[in-house]
Each structure stands twice: as C-alpha cells, then as structure tokens.
Structure 1
Amino acid sequence: MNFIRSLTLRQLQIFVVASRYPSFARAAEELHLTQPAVSMQIRQLEDVVGLPLFERVARKLALTEAGERFSHHASRIIGEIKDAEDAMTSLTHADSGSIAVSIVSSATYFAPKLLALYSQQYPKVDVHFSVGNRETLLRLLQDNATDLAIMGRPPPELGTTAEPMAYHPHVIIAPLSHPLRDARRFDLQELAGDTFLLREPGSGTRAVVEHTFRQHLFQPARTVTLGSNETIKQAVMAGMGVSLISLHTLALELRTGEIALLDVNGTPIERTWQLVHSRSKQLSPTCLAFRRFLLEHAEPFLENEYAQFAFRPPKRAAARILEGAAPADLGRTK
C-alpha cells in the first residue's frame, strides 16, 4: 500500500482533530472550516488509505480499527513537524513559538491559572492545552502529540522523564449531613456502610482509590462510577455518598462550606503532581523555559490557594515526598 506520496499534511491535521470528536461539526468548529469541507477531506484521505477510518455508532462518529491504528501514526507525524517548527523558531526567538500541554482533569482547577500567569510573562508564546484522563495523556505522550503532561502518577510503562512539581493531597469528602462529619481520627472501616463515588477506570484518581482500598483491606457496601470530578462533587453534596478525591478540585466548595472533609486516619493520601515528557523528545528552549516556570511556581501557588485548609505535611515530610519517598511512610498533620 503506497499512499505516502498522495497524503497531504492538511488531511492529517484534519483527521487528527476529527478523531477527537463525535461529529465532524465539532471538528469543523475547532478548525474554522465548514462541516462539508471536513467531510470532503476525510473522504479523500480514506480514498488514499483504501480503508474506512470512521464509522457511525449510536449516531456518533467513532474510529474504525484502521482509524485507530492510523491515528497513532498521524499524531506522531504532526508532533514531529511541530517539533521541527519549534526548533527553527527557537533559534531566533526563544520567548516565542508554541507549547502543547496536556493535563488530567483534576489539574483543570489550577493549571489554567498557572498558564495565565505564564502568558503574562511570555505573551508571544502560544500555549495549547488539552484535558483527558491518565490513559488519554499516556497516548498523547506515546504519539508525540504533546510536549509536557501534568499528571499525578508517572507512567513506568513509557520512556518518560517525570519531575515532582507540587504536593497533591487526596481527601475523603461527604455531604454536610454525614453523621461522622465532626468525628476526629476515625478508621476508614467506619465508612464501610457508605456508598463510595468513584471516577472512571483509567483515571489517576480511580487508581489512588483502588490502591487505598487494597492498603486498608477495605470494601465499601456499594460503589458508583461517575465520569468527572464535578459530577462526583455534585453527587456528594446531594447525599448520594462519599468520595476520595483530590483536594485541589475542592477550593470553591470548601470556601463556600458546601461539602465536608472527613478526618479519616491515613488521610490525606499524599501524592505529588508530576511534570512528564517523553525521554526521546527534544524540548525546545521555549518549552524548557515553561518547564522551569511550572517547577518554580506550581508549589507556592497551590500552597497559597489551599493554606487555609491546613492539609499540608511538615516541610521535612514534603521534601521526602518530592524526593520520591513512599507516600505510605508519611503521616498526616493538621
């Protein structure tokens, strides 16, 4: 199958964007094209490849098996071209160019504020960021479709470099009416009769919860899986159950007193935010400057945002976390 000469860069760009959405109309909005123009380019690409790349499933577009395989290659090609463009740009303008940053959904509560601070200092740099669960970010890193990723747990299965960026506590939340709302230092087993609201498989938060349950030999009476942090918070406030969730998703609810933190032994679960990039990727000077900015500013920014909630280990414990100590070895202070 010799179709390389017939492919166009524009077709690959349109395909990569279209593969992220359930309809060509959504892709057309991002690309600033009409839907017929997107459809035509995809049809031409399918003619060149010789296989259908999309199919309709329950009125939504989905990638075929051929589309799934081709998307990996297309993303890598676009990523390599972007790397070349950034490298050439950085030779003359180290404070310009573009950066692609991918973040897990729990980081959406603070990462945009950090990006805004960066943009104030470097207004010529174009920062693109995408949001997904942990599995989505791993694929983007593997496909060279992102420069940097902010996530909670570095991927040992990929050749990546991970740097601890900030302390990242996870806490157990409950509705204000929960009978243990005012209890102090009780065991997780006291919540065995509660419904636990969980993120979807593949998310970093779900992995933290499952690890915690195994550590404590804990099995809740019932679990319900929900697709986002926002849905979980709303469900907790409505009295559906309790949840183990990132403290950094709770600033608004805690400030307004709409949700309760439970004082469970062993919490907060101490993790770190990690800044990750592919080991084989040559980071441009612009990207390196952005990396330094995050490593310098993320920790003090989050400390300031959440200082009033006092969920912070002593400095020596924090240093051990950042040096890679096992979270289970560290105690909680209030």
Structure 2
Amino acid sequence: MNFIRTLTLRQLQIFSVAARHMSFARAADELHLTQPAISMQIRQLEDAAGLPLFERIGRRLALTEAGEKLTHHASRILGEIKDAEDTMTSLKQADSGSIAVGIVSSATCFAPKLLARYSQQYPRVDVHFLVGNREMLLRLLQDNAIDLAIMGRPPPELDTIAEPLARHPHVLIAPVEHPLANARRFDLQELRAETFLLREPGSGTRIAAEDMFRQHLFTPAKIVTLGSNETIKQAVMAGMGVSLISLHTLLLELRTNEIALLDVNGTPVERTWQIVHMRAKQLSPTGTVFRRFLLEHAAPYLEREYGVFAPPAVVPRGAGR
C-alpha cells in the first residue's frame, strides 16, 4: 500500500523511458531533465517498491526481475492515461493530440518520410515513433504503449486488426563481384556452399528467410546472425556472404551499384507491409485519420521510390494466388 501512496506518474514515465533506453543519460536527454534528477526519481521509486529496479553488469545497465515486471505495468498504465488524454482531445477535433507508432527496423527506410509528410499536413499532431524488432512491437502493442505498428507479418498470436499497406518484396543480395551476380533464373541450391547473413531469430526478415529455406528444401552451409539490416548490407559488400533482405532497405546501394540482386528462382519472396492495431484498441479520430493517411500514401510512395529498381528478379509473380 505504501508503494501505491508514494508512486507518481512522473516516476513511472521516467522509469519507462530509462528502461527503454537502458541509460539514465539518454532518458535525461529525451525528458529534458538532468541525469541526477533521473537518478533521484528512480531511487525514490526503488525505495517505495523496496526492491532494486536496475543493476550494473560490468559497464551496462540492466533491469532486475522487479524492473522487468514493473516495465509492463508502467507501459499499460501510461498507455491507458494516454488513451484518456487522446479521448478528451478527440472530443474537440481530429487534427490535434498525439499518436504513438511502432515500426520494425526494415521500415525505417520509408516510414519516417511518410510520417514527415503527415506532420506537414497535420502540424498540430504530435507523432512519436519507436523502432524495434517484431517481438518488441508485439509487446508494445499488447502493453498499449503504442497505437499502431508498421510491420511485415500480422501477429497471429495477438487479437489484432491488420491491413495491407503495400508490397514488400524480399530479395537475395550478394557482392557485385559474386560469380552468379549476372546469372539468370538459377536455383537456390546453387548457393548451398554460401554463408547466409541473417537477422536475429523472431525478426520478420529472419522468418521470411526460414520460410524460403523450407519451401526449397534448402540448408545453408553456414548462417551468421547480425543485428541490423545496415550491418548485413555492409557485410555483404565486404564479401562475407549473401542475404535475403527487404528490397526497401536497398535504395542507396542500388543507386550506387554497390550490391548485386541475385536472380534466384522463387524470388522475390513476396510479403506485404501491414498497419496493425489491437482489436480492443479504440483509435481516436486523430489515429483513424493517420491510419487512413498511411493506407492511401504508402504504396504510391514505395512504387515511386523503388519501381525503377524492379528488374525481372523483383517483378511480382503469382499475384492471383
């Protein structure tokens, strides 16, 4: 009971931001506070809880078990309060308030540009976006910490509404000097001796690659797991291996001819960008307008940006399936 009496929403907000960044300094920057002020509020929260919420492991900050559990409660509480605020705002008008959007890292190549266009059209709306892998976005949706998520595969494990935004082709890439860089329509088995550079398990791109391997009865000679699309692209250009990756992450490399697209049978692996929210989530009028904006603008924008880089290897096939 003492914990409830002394707990403040400000402390929960500070704790939630510090837990997201795993850094008091970065939390201070985001919240426009000093680092000692962040430390003091966290210490008061720990005193009220009677348990440590953070611990130092070497030079890294980590959550304790109590901190992990409080993170989910804090996200739900702050999400509910934001819903109440949005509801009150929506009673006035639909072109103000705030929206929290989660995007998978593969979507950072285009989503921020669409968000910027939306902000130009609706300057009074405060748009917050969080970048993470698929599993992180599912947790944020479930905790009501975000209103909407842009991801590649609808989450069957959650009761959500998912609507298609645009085509999302995945292509096989290799160094430009790869011996099969100019080959036409060869089988995936031709790459059986290659090292495949893949994202972490659970990411949408990794799931797409594993699905492709199963469909082709293919087992890579070696898999190296890397933590970001940028790292994968740099590793491919350095000759470390080949990779299945979203076409939409390759705009710069295709323009400068730094990466080769491999023309493998069964590629591109066709996926779809989705806009997702929890079925139980009551989107505010502002959120509804934002969702409609993405549904109207995402596909034309991606086609304009990437249509020129659609050789036979990335022309959609089997559209009627």
What TM-score, normalized to structure 1?
0.93
AA at the equivalent of 1:150: I
Q: Which residue of 1 aligns with 2:114?
A: 114
Matched, 1:245 2:245: yes
With 268-277 and 219-228 compared, the bigger mean Cα shift is at 219-228
Residues 73-122 of structure 1 deviation map (CA, whole Å, 9 limit, x = unaligned): 00010001011101111111210111000000000000011111111111
Q: Which residue of 1 aligns with 2:213?
A: 213
Residues 250-302 of structure 1 deviation map (CA, whole Å, 9 limit, x = unaligned): 01100111100000000000000010011111100000000000011101111
1:1-334 equivalences under 5 Å are 2-310=2-310, 311-313=314-316, 317=319, 320=320, 329=321
Deviation at 1:2, TM superposition (A): 4.9
Deviation at 1:62, TM superposition (A): 0.7
Q: Distance in 2 between matches of 1:241 and 1:271?
A: 23
Deviation at 1:5, TM superposition (A): 2.1
Q: Which residue of 2 aligns with 1:324?
A: none
Q: Distance in 1 between matches of 2:23 and 2:122?
A: 35
Deviation at 1:221, TM superposition (A): 1.1
Q: Distance in 1 between matches of 2:2 and 2:186?
A: 66
Match of 1:166, SS state, is strand
The 8 Å contact of residues 90 and 285 in structure 1, kept in 2 or not, is answered as: yes
What TM-score, normalized to structure 2?
0.97
Deviation at 1:202, TM superposition (A): 2.2
Please, which runs of 5 or more residues in structure 2 have no aligned partner? none
Please, which runs of 5 or more residues in structure 1 have no aligned partner? 321-328, 330-334
Q: Distance in 2 between matches of 1:45 and 1:251?
A: 46
With 14-23 and 1-10 compared, the bigger mean Cα shift is at 1-10
Q: Distance in 2 between matches of 1:235 and 1:313?
A: 27
The 8 Å contact of residues 166 and 299 in structure 1, kept in 2 or not, is answered as: yes
The 8 Å contact of residues 21 and 61 in structure 1, kept in 2 or not, is answered as: no
Match of 2:20, SS state, is coil
Q: Distance in 2 between matches of 1:88 and 1:173?
A: 49
Residues 221-240 of structure 1 deviation map (CA, whole Å, 9 limit, x = unaligned): 11111110000001101111
Match of 1:92, SS state, is coil
4+ long deviations beyond 4 Å: none
Match of 2:115, SS state, is helix
Deviation at 1:24, TM superposition (A): 0.9
Q: Distance in 2 between matches of 1:74 and 1:227?
A: 27
Identity percentage over the alignment? 79
AA at the equivalent of 1:313: P
Deviation at 1:22, TM superposition (A): 2.8
Q: Which residue of 2 aligns with 1:332?
A: none
Q: Distance in 2 between matches of 1:297 and 1:53?
A: 43
AA at the equivalent of 1:285: P
Q: Distance in 2 between matches of 1:312 and 1:188?
A: 18
Q: Distance in 1 between matches of 2:315 and 2:287?
A: 30
Match of 2:91, SS state, is helix
